[in-house]
Chains A and B, each alone.
Chain A
């Protein structure tokens, strides 16, 4: 499918989802839907580095929280419209991603993974000690009840949901474009055999830096509207382990290496968790994610997409 047609399809689907949610008219749907779509963005972002290049990022929560706290900072200094905040959050997280990558990506992959884990702890320490954005007390970011766009009045929650939907379209488009470009092939060579790629003249360090920056920026963008969604933000919720584990589990369960894997994983796991949060408890739903992650990497390492491909191949024979 051509990129332009694909973009039109994506926007049509997003518009249909939004219209459907409005037709159902339940506020809760927007609250729950926001979280699921946010995970679509996070999982797709993780997959650009993890799935395409094979470098594991455990610090998704850190990039996400950076975006969120960028918004908090501007909320206090000079309130800006949310789309602009999304852009700013993306820039800040992208810069941090680049710096991280520059320091650790010349080494073995494991070092990068460990450094990202530590990054989350340290950024959290910094935020806890930074009084201006609330420190460990947290900060209130009250969202206005509604907003006027293009002459229509939208409840603010629906506005945030719409923005997140558009962001998901952007993320998926970016991932799909990368997959089919020279850049994506370069990423794949790194994943399959970095030494051989380097020997063939693939500029591996530069490609890896592009991937970390892009992936970090998208995570930051996903985090930027979060303070307005949650209305009260504090470090341990913004840096919650749930973000780190979900953004790894969703692509791994859906299937890494293609744009559709993280999408399937995020929709599936995200919905299961929203249901489990309401019906059981929020601790149990995290346990479900952990157990699913471990069983999938052991039993079906290529995720749901891999399972489906195997099934199709078996039928052809």
Chain B
């Protein structure tokens, strides 16, 4: 049997598309963990929450899932800002981020998952839209729209965020807050307010990522758990706090997972991200594009 080159090429292309989607999933953690030093392990739970809200809007009011994601942005921003306020008052002010702060986010992750199970049950939910189903074909290369649309939109979102962070005053302040809070305060910017805005943005990205997720695959409440390892693997692999690094990390992981799933079966795919995470932590903890 000769080596199935076409299969390999298709797997790589699917991996790139998947990687694009992973960018959307990870960018929020890149901001919260990478720039603000907030270990928000509940991020995947907010993504699943976004998926379910998109599902409700889609099935009850026939709203396009991507539009639903955009509509949810302000709501998630407010949610993120208020969570940061609680986090700041309860943990950062008392210097208790390490133990209590982590337990807090773990509790939120857990509550969200159980609450979704209680409300929606453990059935898989999915959305309907014109681009879920058809596939763009070039010769033997398949580009399913259901992967292509999230990928393109996710990369657009990342570009917008990168521009925002590097060009505006608030954006630069967000990048600065992880390096020197005191210096930022001297620039007449309130570090707490900046962090609140940044965390709001980070959770807002989960709204869109959630919408993308439910476009790509049917969702049930515990799907989020698979994404915890993935998200942090990408984040660490790319280098903490670096958005271009996030893209590279996401692409590498997407391609590796897609190849593993194609040649060894999808049940092995979750092990890939963990392998990457451990290897990165052991050999290059600052990641590929780390500072």
Residues of A within 8 A of B (CB): 50, 54, 56, 58, 103-104, 107, 109-111, 113-115, 117-119, 121-122, 124-126, 128-129, 241, 245, 248-249, 252, 256, 283-284, 286-287, 289-291, 293-294, 297-298, 301
What are the nearest 7 A-B pairs in CB distance? A118-B229, A294-B107, A122-B274, A290-B111, A293-B107, A290-B110, A297-B100
Residues facing A in B223-257 (CB within 8 A) are 225-226, 228-229, 232-233, 236
Q: How far is the CA of A256 from the CA of B102 in the complex (A)?
A: 14
Q: How far is the CA of A242 from the CA of B177 in the complex (A)?
A: 36
A29, chain B: closest CB distance, angstroms: 27
Whether the pair B39, A110 counts as a contact (CB closer than 8 A) is yes
Query: B107: which of A128, A283, A284, A290 is its contact (CB, 8 Å)?
Result: A290
- Which residue on chain B has the smallest CB distance to residue A245? B110
Q: How far is the CA of A294 from the CA of B225 in the complex (A)?
A: 19
- Which residue on chain B has the smallest CB distance to residue A299? B90
B260, chain A: closest CB distance, angstroms: 11
Residues of B within 8 A of A121 (CB): 225-226, 228-229, 270, 274
* Selected interface stretch from B112-120, B126-134, B212-220: B112-120
Q: Does B51 contact A (CB under 8 A)?
A: no
Interface size, chain B (Cβ < 8 Å): 44
Query: A122: which of B41, B111, B118, B270 is its contact (CB, 8 Å)?
Result: B270
- Which residue on chain B has the smallest CB distance to residue A124? B270
Residues of A within 8 A of B104 (CB): 294, 297-298
Residues of B within 8 A of A (CB): 33, 39, 41, 86, 90-91, 94, 96, 98-100, 102-104, 106-108, 110-111, 113-115, 117-118, 222, 225-226, 228-229, 232-233, 236, 267-268, 270-271, 273-275, 277-278, 281-282, 285
B51, chain A: closest CB distance, angstroms: 19
Q: How far is the CA of A252 from the CA of B103 in the complex (A)?
A: 8
13 of the cross-chain contacts (CB-CB < 8 Å) are A54-B98, A56-B99, A56-B102, A103-B281, A103-B282, A110-B39, A114-B228, A118-B233, A126-B271, A241-B225, A248-B103, A286-B114, A294-B107
